[in-house]
Amino acid sequence: MTTDNVYDASPYPVLSHSDTHPDKAATIATLLGLNPPPITNCRVLELGCAGGGNLLPMAESLRNSTFVGVDYAAKQIEQARERAQQLSLTNIRFETMDILDIDEDFGTFDYIIAHGVYSWVPEDVRDHVLHICKQNLSPNGIAYVSYNTYPGWHSLMVVRDLMLWHTRDSESPEEKMEEAFGITSFVAETMRRTGHNPAYAAYLDRYMSKRFKYDKDKHPLLETSLLHDEMEEVNHPVYFHEFHSHAQEHDLQYMAEVPFAQVLMPDIPVEVQQQLGAMATNLVEMEQYVDYVRHRTFRRTLLTHEAITIERKLTAQPVMKFYVASRAKVVDDPDASDGIERFSDSDDITLATNHAISKAAMHHLIETAGIFSFGDLFDIACERINFTNATDQDRQVLAANLLQGFSSSTELVEFFTVNPGAVAIVSDKPRARPIARLDAINLNLPNTTNLKHERLILDPFIRMILPYVDGEHSRDDILDKLVENISTGRIGVRTKDGEKITEMNAREIFTGQLDVALYWLGRSSLLTG
């Protein structure tokens, strides 16, 4: 794999990617009738680990598992090693090496992650990525490979070509990113004003809104992903059927997509699904037709060995092994008279049920923001409605409803094979996960990772308090620290109205903010105690 050290000159952002977590793969594998390696005692390899932003949170929360990160950028590997040392992690190592140099002697892994690699490397490296997924994968192991896809990238290629051509003489990564943003904005605005190709103008608007939605001045580090995604020298999208054929060449079989809701197609009308099913003669053709319908640009595919038997017919039984959470909201329907309650995600995908235990379970998940084993959740739901005659059929119905929610949305219902350990209730001496406290101190990192392996942006006040949310300081202790930092001049803060916060008014102003901030930390799965 060749490079001019572009990743050292302009490092890839230190980011976590929730869909790459081994528990996502293990959960889906369990639903498909597989016996995946337990994530509490597994070996994980990440190809293209950059600065360790993805692996480090995993290693921190899964102390009995081991993690290996490989990347060609020496500076980012050194950064990852330094952060691992700061976190006192002994179950992770980072290697500066070429993917092509990984052979059978490198070891066997239960989970292999290749996020943002396959489409961005030369052909021989692409082939070796899948070779590693076969050669170095344990018998029941699972590989995660993400890649750019057609047909959606046919449209994005025009944007890529525009940015590359316009920035062909740019002298620095910063100049290249700024000019790429400027030309894309200019073309989109011009197309709107002239009325030329309104369909593509609307597409550019959607792209700009999604790609540049963050505040560039506030989070400059995120801009570098533009260089290494859309504007990377090698960018090789493929059709799904092409990727599938490539995987088969290495005796790997398609398992599913992450998130799993994309497989069950809640965004596609039932009648359209039926028509696609009539045209498709197998799973691969069905997936390819769906990509055309969705104009898909990106896939996150799970692969396993060809010899593994996958059960494609879902049942509710595996759900009873899981831990369950929800980020849904209750749909207010005062006119409902049929006993059906509806729960919704942020995209208005709903889960509807008239099953009393299922309704009670969803209400409990939403109200507490907690994570419960299926058995505990069932018992709590029965207790909430004073139901003492629950049957195995009731367990089956609850499991089936939860499976429907999980299969429809990443927010309605969340499943885990292992409790992530997040605590929603703020204790007398709250404790945030160590990596979040470290990220709060590092002003070059705009984000952190919660215990569900989700990426969160840290606002300035959260950054101020996180170092003291360590299990040693009470709420009053944290207030004292904030006031002390104001009085010594270590921090200078103003209110939203621009008023400077002084030692005299700091406690009064910070009291309400602290309560809100601690509540947010709990609801955001950042607290461990």
Q: How confident is the model at residue 493 (pLDDT cuts 50, 70, 90)?
A: low
Task: State pLDDT tens for residues 105-123.
Answer: 999 999 999 999 999 999 9
Over residues 268-296, the mean pLDDT reads 93
Tell me which residue of 49, 55, 452 sits closest to 259, measured CA to CA.
452
Residue 408's pLDDT is what?
93
The DSSP result for 430-479, as a single string, is -BB-HHHHHHHH-TT--EEE-TTS-EEEPPHHHHHHGGG-BSS--HHHHH
Question: Does residue 334 surpass a pLDDT of 70?
Answer: no
Residue 504's pLDDT is what?
60
Question: Does residue 12 surpass a pLDDT of 70?
Answer: no
Q: Which long-range contacts (CB under 8 A, 24 or more apart) does 211-219 make?
A: 212/181, 216/181, 218/446, 219/446, 219/457
Over residues 470-479, the mean pLDDT reads 95
Residue 502's pLDDT is what?
61
Residue 207's pLDDT is what?
78
Confirm if 214 and 222 have CB atoms less than 8 A apart.
Answer: yes
- Min mean pLDDT across 14-28, 265-279, 491-505 is at 491-505
Question: Does residue 51 surpass a pLDDT of 50?
Answer: yes
Q: What distance in Å separates the CA atoms of residue 357 and residue 77, rounded to the nearest whole number?
A: 50
Tell me which residue of 452, 450, 426, 424 sits closest to 436, measured CA to CA.
450
Q: What distance in Å separates the CA atoms of residue 127 and residue 279, rounded to the nearest whole number?
A: 31
Give bridge partners of residue 299 from the DSSP assignment. 147
For a pLDDT cut of 90, what percent of the chain falls above it?
Answer: 70
Instruction: Tell whether the torsion through CA atoms of 91, 97, 99 and 105 is positive or negative.
Output: negative
Determine the CATH number of domain 6-150+237-263+296-305. Answer: 3.40.50.150
Q: What distance in Å separates the CA atoms of residue 58 and residue 44, rounded to the nearest whole number?
A: 10
Confirm if 298 and 148 have CB atoms less than 8 A apart.
Answer: yes
Residue 45's pLDDT is what?
98
Residue 219's pLDDT is what?
47
- Min mean pLDDT across 171-180, 377-386, 415-424, 518-527 is at 171-180
- Within 13 A of 183's CA, how many CA atoms are on the CB side? 17
Q: What's the order of all strands across the beta sheet hosting 414-416?
A: 372-373, 323-325, 414-416
Q: What distance in Å separates the CA atoms of residue 100 and residue 182, rounded to the nearest whole number?
A: 37
Task: Return the structure tokens found at 286.
Answer: 């069905």
**Who contacts 89 (Cβ-Cβ below 8 Å, separation ≥6)?**
56, 59, 60
- Min mean pLDDT across 20-29, 183-192, 413-422 is at 183-192
Tell me which residue of 525, 515, 517 sits closest to 369, measured CA to CA.
525
Q: Is 71 exposed, middle or buried (0-12, 13-18, 19+ CB in 10 A)?
A: buried
Q: What distance in Å separates the CA atoms of residue 177 and residue 200, rounded to the nearest whole number?
A: 22
- Min mean pLDDT across 139-153, 296-310, 476-490 is at 476-490
Domain with CATH 3.40.50.150 in the chain: 6-150+237-263+296-305
Give bridge partners of residue 179 from the DSSP assignment. none
- Residue corresponding to tokens 């692969």: 303
Over residues 189-217, the mean pLDDT reads 75
**Who contacts 17 (Cβ-Cβ below 8 Å, separation ≥6)?**
54, 115, 455
Confirm if 525 and 450 have CB atoms less than 8 A apart.
Answer: yes
Give bridge partners of residue 352 from the DSSP assignment. 342
**Who contacts 391 (Cβ-Cβ below 8 Å, separation ≥6)?**
none
Q: Are strands 92-96 and 109-114 parallel, antiparallel or unpaired?
A: unpaired
Question: Does residue 180 surpass a pLDDT of 90?
Answer: no
- Min mean pLDDT across 10-24, 47-61, 83-97, 403-417 is at 10-24
Over residues 168-190, the mean pLDDT reads 84
